[in-house]
Chain A
Amino acid sequence: MNRIFQWFDERTGLSGPVRDFLNYPVPKYVHRNFLYTLGGLTLISFLIQVVTGILMAFYYDPSTEGAYNSVDYISYQLPLGWLIRGVHHYASSAMVILVSLHMLRTYYFSAYKKPRELNWLTGVLLFFLVLSFGFTGYLLPWDQKGYWATKVGTEIAGSVPLIGSFLMHLMRGGDMLGQATLTRFYAGHILLLPASVAVLIVAHIFQMRFHGMAPAITKKAQAQSKIFVPFFPDWAITDTLCGLGLLALLVYMTWANHAPLEFPADPTSNNYVPRPEWYFLFYFQLLKYFPGALEPVATILIPLFIFGSMVLLPFVDLSEERRPWRKPVTTLVSIFYIIVIVVFTILAMAAYA
């Protein structure tokens, strides 16, 4: 065994970098806090999506005439098709939840501050790419939900002043939702987005390793900040256990409630109320409050403002203070946003109940 290992190492030179990677010192205060598993869990949910997505690509037919039937076939006729598609469906929600919680953890621990600004920025981009995954993914079954949510979604892009029409046509691949739209969303969902996310994840992890964990914020954690455990096996086993727990939860959710598939897309139906995925509901609700000429406020100004403030955060909040209870402005702003999102989501759910 040792000789085989040596043979490979002489030819690849990998043992050094791999050993460094595995022996990476993780502070003990991090190892003891489950909040630090959120990033790794997001990565694991991405890997689950890659595996289940590749499996489904063996059967999925990206055409307006065949997409629905192929998804129906995957869901109801293929052995374990319900499981693969179901886990992919629920893991997409899990990914949104995990990446949001991971961001909140980073936010409250002030881990975006110098010198970790770029790590925060790659994280912000990854967050929006995860949402783009959701948006491009649910058109693919070409059912009522996907069709109408995409119609509304692309119309939202169309309401952007000056370049709206260009954006909408670019997204749709033409005037109307059709074959070109489906192919675009498919290529984006299975090629462009995964490749972009993979590159950003590598950059994100590389930066995290380069700077190390952000300083601890509590006295108890600070007391342990000079004690380390190796990434492998100590930390890796924590991530693995959490990942297995996540997978078990996704399988259970799929088993309890198979992934939904609505009726085939019908462009003539006038009684279908489009509902986006739950994580876009608050935004859907927001649109109701900006009638007529004010529409671009909700469709472009508010999203741009939120994206802009996330990007600018590490360059605006320059204080040394890292404890959220000593930083009332950033803490209250985040609580305000959380309340708005929760209340709007509940209002939207009530409206569609």
Chain B
Amino acid sequence: MAAPKLPPLPAEKGVWDEHVIDRRRFLEAALGVLAGIGGLLVAVPGARFLIGNSLEPSATKWVELGKIADLPVAAVTQVSYSTRATDAWREVNQRGTVYVSSADGGATFTVLDGTCTHLGCIVQWNEGDSRFVCPCHSGHFTREGEVIDGPPPHRLRQLAVKVQDGALFAEI
């Protein structure tokens, strides 16, 4: 780094501080600051743009699963639903699988989201063993959705339900 070109001070007075900034050093620092500002001006809005709306939870809605009279009260019933939903900029049929059961002969219903809490595969109801089994990594759940065996970290998600006009609805 070139030393700043300043006339020497009288010897009895002292010397210039060796860190006195010269033009080149100032320009280098200024360039660094400007480049940094430019980089941030691109990176920050760019990152916000990329994150977009991805962190917003999707809106829940009540989906009809069927007429109460048609649902078997003793068994666990697999229900595949389809509902109109907004997927980013597209209107789509959002589809999914839930399991409906009743422990009190049809007075109240339990609706479990069929999505395995391990890595998201859809579990199957095994009537013989009376348990849900995930085909991916052999996670096992009770009829109520509690983990019995395998890698799932927690129970199956239980959905809020309501009965309206003789039909069962779940909040999806």
Contacts and interface: CB of A to CB of B under 8 A. Distances in A.
B69 interface: no
Contacts of A267: 95-97
Given A174-B54, A287-B151, A292-B147, A268 B80 contact: yes
A288 B52 CA distance: 34
A172 B54 CA distance: 7
A175 interface: yes
B150 interface: yes
Interface stretch (B8-16, B25-33, B82-90): B82-90
Nearest to B117: A155
B92 to A, nearest CB: 7
A122 interface: no
B137 to A, nearest CB: 5
B130 interface: no
B121 interface: yes
Contacts of B118: 155, 295
A148 B121 contact: yes
A65 interface: yes
Nearest to B122: A270
Nearest to B123: A270
Given A64-B87, A64-B90, A178-B88, A152 B54 contact: no
Nearest to A165: B55
Given A170-B51, A270-B97, A292-B147, A178 B123 contact: no
B124 A270 contact: yes
A335 interface: no
B53 interface: yes
A248 B156 CA distance: 50
Given A64-B92, A270-B114, A293-B153, A174 B56 contact: yes
Contacts of A170: 50-51, 54-55
For chain B, which range describes its interface: under 10, 10 to 19, 20 to 34, or 35 or more residues? 35 or more
Contacts of B153: 159, 292-293, 295
B57 interface: yes
Contacts of A176: 58, 87, 94
A63 interface: yes
A153 B123 CA distance: 17
Given A174-B56, A267-B95, A270-B97, A155 B124 contact: no
Contact of A174 (B58, B114, B124): B58
B119 interface: yes
A180 B151 contact: no
A76 interface: no
A216 to B, nearest CB: 43
B160 interface: no
A269 B122 contact: yes
Contacts of A194: none
Given A267-B96, A271-B124, A288 B87 contact: no
A178 B92 contact: yes
A273 interface: yes
B96 to A, nearest CB: 6
A173 B119 contact: no
A7 interface: no
B78 interface: yes
B138 A288 contact: yes
A140 B147 CA distance: 34
A169 interface: yes
Contact of A292 (B53, B135, B136, B151): B151
B120 interface: yes
Contacts of A64: 87, 90, 92
A267 B94 CA distance: 9
A330 interface: no
B121 A174 contact: no
A249 to B, nearest CB: 33
Given A180-B88, A270-B78, A295-B118, A174 B151 contact: no
23 contacts: A64-B92, A156-B119, A159-B153, A169-B54, A172-B54, A173-B52, A174-B53, A174-B58, A176-B87, A178-B87, A178-B90, A178-B92, A266-B95, A267-B96, A270-B124, A271-B124, A272-B122, A287-B137, A288-B137, A291-B150, A292-B147, A292-B153, A295-B118
Given A170-B54, A172-B54, A287-B119, 15 more contacts: A65-B92, A166-B55, A169-B55, A174-B88, A267-B96, A267-B97, A268-B97, A270-B78, A270-B97, A270-B114, A270-B121, A272-B135, A274-B136, A291-B151, A295-B153
6 pairs of A and B residues whose beta carbons are closest in the complex: A270-B122, A291-B151, A178-B87, A268-B80, A180-B88, A155-B119
